[in-house]
């Protein structure tokens, strides 16, 4: 019979057969799919898998550390952290156009990942390296049977590695839907913090700051976002809400009165949505008390923010993210 337990076992066996005695690498994004794919491969080939986590400095408060810890503790897999905050922020300096931001973040990510590959595989005389990807069944269908939607090419040569080194894809989730992936992840011992994680965009907070992305603005948004998430969790709303981006309107200012004086600060937008698959979404009717607590705390605790607004636009016409 078909159970989550034997899906996991079956995939572990298949991956072991595919990779044989070779090595594999996997880019962890912090999301469910790459973590579960990596956990399966780690069970199959042990320390011949190296995971790479590129920390672009655009994650939420304490998020990178929590992901690293949870992943290490639950899988025991080899994990290489690339601290690339400075490179990403330098590359993003002066950029305000959303598509431009996305392109820069994607390009820097590949650059960091390739550099990590060179370090991991550089002095091996292997001819094949395996690249693990968390492609799901809906991705396979959407791309007409191709290799998922990731922006990492399936066959590419990397400067510094043996000339004829080829990458072959390992995609243990290709036949699974999201809920099955979560179940397999739990089965393999990944904590809820990873398997029940709400969607979060690859470009991170870089596309939640409307205007130029700077370290100072990121820190302001991180504080506001952490308060919003804490209150949502306390109110028990994490499962009901698909996700709630908090967006900093960094180029907008408005007059306020905080403490004993006039302020001229920035607004944030709460964007709570319900959705089945992110293709369409409805704005979520948050309880007034929860909105009130979030608003009061953000304006009290984050001095640069003097106004909290709620986005009541469905998708379409508004996308979930603002950029």
Those residues with Cβ within 8 angstroms of residue 233's Cβ, 6 or more apart along the chain or in another chain: none
Least separation in angstroms between residue 24's CB and ligand XMP is 22
Please tell me whether residue 202 binds ligand XMP under the rule CB under 6 A. Answer: yes
Please tell me whether residue 199 binds ligand XMP under the rule CB under 6 A. Answer: yes
DSSP assigned state of 315:
B
Least separation in angstroms between residue 282's CB and ligand XMP is 12
Please tell me whether residue 278 binds ligand XMP under the rule CB under 6 A. Answer: yes
Least separation in angstroms between residue 6's CB and ligand XMP is 30
Residue ranges in 67-106 that form contacts with ligand XMP under rule CB under 6 A: 102
Please tell me whether residue 206 binds ligand XMP under the rule CB under 6 A. Answer: no
- How many residues in the shown chain lie near ligand XMP by CB under 6 A? 11
Please tell me whether residue 243 binds ligand XMP under the rule CB under 6 A. Answer: yes
DSSP assigned state of 151:
S
Those residues with Cβ within 8 angstroms of residue 239's Cβ, 6 or more apart along the chain or in another chain: 196
Name which position in 203, 206, 265, 272 contacts ligand XMP (CB under 6 A).
203
Please tell me whether residue 320 binds ligand XMP under the rule CB under 6 A. Answer: yes
Please tell me whether residue 319 binds ligand XMP under the rule CB under 6 A. Answer: yes
Distance CA 298, CA 301 (A): 5
Do 132 and 26 meet the contact criterion of CB atoms below 8 Å apart?
yes
Dihedral sign for Cα atoms in the order 293, 294, 296, 298: positive
Among residues 149 and 254, whose Cβ is nearest to ligand XMP? 149
Binding span for ligand XMP by CB under 6 A among 73-81, 283-291, 297-305, 313-321:
313-321
Least separation in angstroms between residue 64's CB and ligand XMP is 16
Which residues line the annotated binding site?
A: 29-35
Which residues line the annotated binding site for ATP?
A: 29-35
Among residues 23 and 315, whose Cβ is nearest to ligand XMP? 315
Least separation in angstroms between residue 225's CB and ligand XMP is 13
Distance CA 116, CA 76 (A): 19
Token representation of residue 27:
């880019």
Binding span for ligand XMP by CB under 6 A among 10-18, 93-101, 127-135, 195-203:
195-203
Least separation in angstroms between residue 58's CB and ligand XMP is 11
Among residues 15 and 209, whose Cβ is nearest to ligand XMP? 209
DSSP assigned state of 47:
G
Among residues 176 and 207, whose Cβ is nearest to ligand XMP? 207
What are the distances in angstroms from CA 76 to CA 9, 70, 129, 204?
A: 18, 10, 21, 26
What are the distances in angstroms from CA 225 to CA 66, 167, 169, 247, 298?
A: 16, 38, 36, 8, 9
Binding span for ligand XMP by CB under 6 A among 36-44, 164-172, 174-182, 312-320:
312-320
Helix runs in the chain, H state only: 4-19, 32-45, 63-75, 85-92, 98-121, 137-142, 178-187, 192-195, 215-234, 288-301
Least separation in angstroms between residue 273's CB and ligand XMP is 8
Distance CA 212, CA 249 (A): 10
Please tell me whether residue 321 binds ligand XMP under the rule CB under 6 A. Answer: yes
Q: Is 263 helix (H, G, I), strand (E, B) or coil?
A: strand
Residues making contact with ligand XMP (CB under 6 A): 102, 199, 201-203, 243, 278, 315, 319-321
């Amino acid at each position: 019979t078909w159970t989550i337990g034997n899906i996991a076992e079956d995939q572990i066996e298949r991956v072991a057969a595919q990779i044989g005695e070779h090595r594999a690498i996997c880019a962890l994004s912090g999301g469910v799919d790459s973590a579960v794919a990596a956990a399966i491969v780690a069970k199959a080939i042990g320390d011949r898998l190296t995971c790479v986590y590129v920390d672009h400095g655009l994650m939420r408060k304490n998020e990178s550390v929590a992901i690293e810890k949870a992943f290490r503790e639950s899988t025991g897999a080899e994990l290489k952290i690339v601290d690339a905050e400075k490179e990403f922020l330098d590359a993003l300096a002066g950029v305000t156009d959303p598509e431009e931001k996305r392109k820069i973040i994607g390009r820097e990510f590949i650059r960091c990942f390739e550099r990590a590959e060179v370090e991991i595989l550089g002095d091996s005389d292997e001819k094949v390296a395996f690249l693990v990807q968390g492609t799901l069944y809906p991705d396979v269908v959407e791309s007409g049977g191709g290799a998922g939607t990731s922006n990492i090419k399936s066959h590419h040569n990397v400067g510094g590695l043996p000339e004829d080194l080829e990458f072959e894809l390992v995609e243990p989730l290709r036949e699974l839907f999201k809920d099955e992936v979560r179940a397999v992840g739990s089965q393999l011992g990944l904590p809820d913090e990873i398997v029940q994680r709400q969607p979060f965009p690859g470009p991170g907070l870089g596309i939640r700051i409307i205007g130029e992305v700077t370290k100072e603005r990121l820190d302001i948004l991180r504080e506001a976002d952490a308060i919003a998430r804490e209150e949502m969790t306390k109110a028990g709303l994490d499962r009901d809400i698909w996700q709630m981006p908090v967006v900093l309107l960094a180029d907008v200012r408005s007059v306020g009165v905080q403490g004993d004086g006039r302020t001229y600060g920035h607004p944030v937008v709460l964007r709570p949505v319900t959705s089945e698959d992110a293709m369409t979404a409805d704005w979520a009717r948050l309880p007034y008390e929860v909105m009130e607590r979030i608003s009061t705390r953000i304006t009290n605790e984050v001095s640069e923010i003097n106004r909290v607004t709620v986005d009541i636009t469905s998708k379409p016409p508004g996308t979930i993210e603002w950029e």
